[in-house]
Amino acid sequence: MSETTVTIVGAGMSGAACLLALRRAGVAARLVDRGRAPGGRMASPLLHDRRVDTGAGYFTVRDDDFGALVDDWAARGLAHEWTDTFTVLRAGAEPESKSGPTRWGTPGGLRSLVRDLLRDVPVEQTDVDVLPAGHVVLAMPDPQASRLTEVPDAVPYDPVITVVLGLATASSLPFADAAFVQDDPDVEFLAVDGARRGDGAPVLVAHTTAERARRHLDDPDSAVAPVVEALRRLTGIAPPEWTHAHRWTYAKPSASHEASFGLVERDGRLIGFAGDQWCLEGSPRVESAWRSGSDLGAALAERLGA
């Protein structure tokens, strides 16, 4: 096997975790991404002078190793426990409370956690149109990785359009933190961004259903009107003061692999696959992406004799 630097394509959580695992093992690695900032679907763009989480809505902690990392973030003020209770909304029905695992938020947006992992790592901004030379990790959704090489048992992804709404007040909403929306054709998740961020801003983030998103992939802004109407129907909100739409063509896997990563040898080099679609527990989440990248980095280092 040739001794070359491992190129990791994708600077989201799985790519960052893979790079750190490789470097801990003494394996040289470089990280490239087409985006202007790391984070992938843990996106927190600046909207109306504050960060808004437009991708992943929160994270949970089940994995002990990931929990140790979260404890460090919490100790340094980068993450905080948010809530263990969400509301369930159905049109024409009274809201219901549903408890579950503790959800975590961040004062600086979820992207800040990936930035923290990569604080000493340069990320090369470039579009990758062909598979890079040498050993490669593709830390991205399977449909994107499939453009570069064959992905073992590739899983499909569903789209989502995120619509952010600036409200005059969030006090009239029938929930304080977030809500799962059931049996609605347009919206499936709502979060009060000021609650999860901790600054109290009256900013509501709505994630569409995949069916609604598919109608608007060519023009995400056209999803705003039906989403606002759905929210009026579900919550009775007044018209928002401002809105913002973001398209996630590959938002979430509709299936998952039965392993935490993929690793194949082709033409004398190793090609790895990582992301939240590679999850042993079968439920994609932020910690799944971290575990996937960490496990792949360890496996690569072993194969490379580190």
DSSP states of 93-159 as a string? S--EEEEEEEEEE-TT-THHHHHHHTTT--EEE----SPPSSSEEEES-HHHHTTTSPPTTPPPEEE
pLDDT of residue 121: 94
The residues, ordered by sequence, that sit 6+ positions from 241 with a Cβ below 8 Å of its Cβ are 166, 167, 168
Report, as an integer, the average pLDDT of 20-36: 96
| Strand 203-208 relative to strand 187-192, pairing | antiparallel
Model confidence at 122: pLDDT above 80: yes
Quick one: pLDDT at residue 3?
59
Give 35-48 pLDDT, tens digit per residue: 888 999 999 999 99
Region 94-113: mean pLDDT is: 96
- Mean pLDDT for 131-135 is 95
Span 85-99, average pLDDT: 94
Percent of the chain residues topping a pLDDT of 90: 95
Per-residue pLDDT, averaged over 143-167, amounts to 97
What is the mean predicted confidence (pLDDT) over 221-243? Answer: 96
DSSP letters along 241-297, please? SEEEEEEEEEEEESS-BSSS-EEEEETTEEEEEESTTB-TTS---HHHHHHHHHHHH
For the chain, the farthest-separated pair of C-alpha atoms sits apart, in whole angstroms, at 63
Mean pLDDT of all residues in the chain?
96
Contact 207, 41 (CB under 8 A): no
Give the N- to C-terminal CA distance of the chain in Å, as an integer: 13
The pTM assigned to this predicted structure is 0.95
pLDDT over threshold 50, residue 293:
yes
> Using the 8-state DSSP alphabet, how is residue 59 labeled?
B
Question: Does the pLDDT at position 306 exceed 80?
Answer: no
pLDDT at 2: 40
